[in-house]
Amino acid sequence: MEKLLENFAKSIAALSAAMILLSVVHEFGYFAYVGSFFQTFVTATDYFTNAILWMPIGIITIFGWQAWRFILEDPPKIQRNNWKSWIAPLFLVGGPVSIFVFTSSGFPLFYLVGLGYLWIILFDRFVPKVELAPLSVVELRKLLRIGVPIIAAIFTLGYERAKADLDLRTNSQPYIIGIKDVPTGILRIPLRHFDKGLLLSNPVDHRIEFVKWEKVDQISKPTEDTRIDPPSCAWFRILCARSWSSP
């Protein structure tokens, strides 16, 4: 029982460290699109907060590890005389290529599936396993073999999230941000909130701005009346959800 608890504690510590690393990589991808200078406003608290949000994904990844182990640990080999051995590699590489050629999808994660598979194949070819190697060398090899595709995928997720957030400039209603010592509020679309302040998008000037919390007086958003009137309102002006104004 004591050994079980010790292993569990080590697993939690390793998972926490991995989640913090994923959080940092994700933010690098995000700000690679938004602007790297804005990342200077991100604090350690923000990275730890994001790591907590990454925790469920990490747990799901651990449970799903066995399902993908045949690709990660023993990728399907191509045998020239056995056409069946070509099926899995063709799907892994040909699928993303087909998506790129025949669709307008710009989501790079589709392509990373094929690239990740190629990385593992080439890695095994040029960095083969060494028998009786020290445990540290074996673990480092596993880390490089699997870690590089994972880091590339997380970086791409951050990059794609930034693109999606900036698309909100044309698809979202802006908020009214009250700034201290400014008589009128400014219209902005909040992108992210951090420990130090707000990352905002200016939909008019198409600019990205960062406002510190000490300068923010209030945040509000105008809402539309979404109530629907029944037919009796249109016919007899009875049970109307909204008030009628006489012409």
> Which of 171, 198, 233 is the endpoint of a domain?
171
Residues 132 and 192 in one domain: no
Residues 16 and 47 in one domain: yes
Residues 80 and 200 in one domain: no
Low-confidence spans in the chain with pLDDT less than 50:
4, 66-67, 103-105, 244-247
Residues 65 and 143 in one domain: yes
Encoding tokens for residue 9? 């504690």
Give the pLDDT of residue 230. 72
Domain total of the chain: 2
Report yes or no on 73 lying in a domain: yes
Residues 146 and 95 in one domain: yes
Report yes or no on 247 lying in a domain: no
Tell me the backbone φ, ψ of residue 118, rounded to 5 degrees: -65, -40
Residues 102 and 206 in one domain: no
Residue type, 53: L
What b/e readout covers 190-205, taking b as 16+ CB neighbours within 10 angstroms? Answer: bbbebebbbbbbebee
Give the pLDDT of residue 64. 53
Give the pLDDT of residue 239. 66
Report yes or no on 99 lying in a domain: yes
Residues 18 and 95 in one domain: yes
Q: What is the pTM of this model?
A: 0.67
Give the pLDDT of residue 244. 44
Task: Find the domain containing 113 and state its range.
Answer: 2-171
Residues 147 and 181 in one domain: no
Residues 187 and 107 in one domain: no
